[in-house]
Amino acid sequence: MQFGDIVILTGAGISKESGIETFRDRDGLWSKVNMEDVATPEGFARDPKYVLDFHNRCRRDLRGDNIRPNAAHDALARLEREWPGQVLLVTQNVDDLHDRAGSGNLIHMHGEMFKTRCDACGDIHDREDDTTLETPCPACGQAGGVRPHVVWFGEMPFQMDEIQAAVGSCSLFMSIGTSGVVYPAAGFVQEAIFRARAHTVELNLEPSEGASMFAEQHYGPATEVVPTFVDKLLAGQASF
């Protein structure tokens, strides 16, 4: 088996067993909140207070006592530590569970709930407490322009050049806990196949929108299928 570089894409499903709801499952976030109202620039322009309050609630929920990395997050951090090649973890998630599990080579392509940025000066800063329209930017001091450092629909995800370079040269592309509905993330598997001729593996609770594109699939809860697959990889038993 070759020890090539690995790119891993994760979505909300990897955090589900940590107590964080997904977006498109039956009881998911988009069944309770209108996506256009809280995850688009138009929604923010229409009612910035509503959007700031929504993100304040999300931030408080993510700091709940029982919200912590699970066995799947831990397995990916172990893979990064022990794999002889490069491991790049690209997450669509805005929670910090991969960070807390110890993943270091990590890109939050849709931003981070625990950061806000200033539309006036562009400063990006850590954010634990609530944000209001009166919250001043810690860098320039201006109020009224501090927004969640989260990628909304119609906005360009972060570090796309870095992601596409890695996807285009990896030996193994793994997709974990994502419905494969949101682009450009949902298109990475095709780039891995056609640009890198990579082996592709989907690890999910159930087949995603893009399931048929993957050479290998393992279905079940992330806390079961991810550690099992990582153990196989590190034991040299995965073939690609």
Contact between 39 and ligand BV8 by CB under 6 A: the answer reads yes
Contact between 11 and ligand BV8 by CB under 6 A: the answer reads yes
Among 145, 157, 210, 227, binds ligand BV8 (CB under 6 A): 157
Side-chain half-sphere CA neighbours of 132 within 13 A:
1
Per the CB < 8 A criterion, the answer to whether 54 and 35 are in contact is no
Can you tell me the distance from the alpha carbon of 118 to that of 138, in angstroms, rounded to the nearest whole number? 9
Among 7, 20, 97, 151, binds ligand BV8 (CB under 6 A): 151
Nearest residue to 18 (alpha-carbon basis) of 210, 170, 239, 226: 226
Report, in Å, the least distance between residue 3 CB and ligand BV8.
Answer: 26
Report, in Å, the least distance between residue 207 CB and ligand BV8.
Answer: 8
Contact region for ligand BV8 (CB under 6 A) — 161-169, 190-198, 204-212, 232-240? 204-212
Tell me the CA distances in angstroms from 187 to 18, 23, 183, 211, 214, one per residue in order: 27, 19, 6, 12, 12
Among 26, 32, 129, 154, binds ligand BV8 (CB under 6 A): 154
Per residue, the 3-state secondary structure of 95-146, as one string, reads CCHHHHHCCCCEEECCEEEEEEEECCCCCEEECCCCCCCCCECCCCCCECCE
DSSP element (H, E) containing 196: helix 188-196
Report, in Å, the least distance between residue 49 CB and ligand BV8.
Answer: 17
Angle formed at CA 16 by CA 13 and CA 20, multiple of 5 degrees:
120
Among 18, 116, 175, 208, binds ligand BV8 (CB under 6 A): 208
Nearest residue to 97 (alpha-carbon basis) of 114, 80, 116, 117: 114
Catalytic, 55? Answer no
Angle formed at CA 224 by CA 222 and CA 228, multiple of 5 degrees:
110
Q: Which is nearer to ligand BV8, 171 or 179 (CB)?
A: 179
Size of site (CB under 6 A) for ligand BV8: 36
Among 4, 5, 19, 25, binds ligand BV8 (CB under 6 A): 25
Among 6, 8, 9, 13, binds ligand BV8 (CB under 6 A): 13
Report, in Å, the least distance between residue 16 CB and ligand BV8.
Answer: 4
Beta strand extents in 26-104 (DSSP E only) = 87-91
Which entry of 73, 110, 149, 199 is annotated as an active-site residue? Answer: 110
Which residues lie near ligand BV8 (CB under 6 A)?
Answer: 11-13, 16-17, 22-25, 28, 39, 92-94, 110, 150-157, 177-179, 181-184, 204-206, 208, 221-222
Catalytic positions are 110
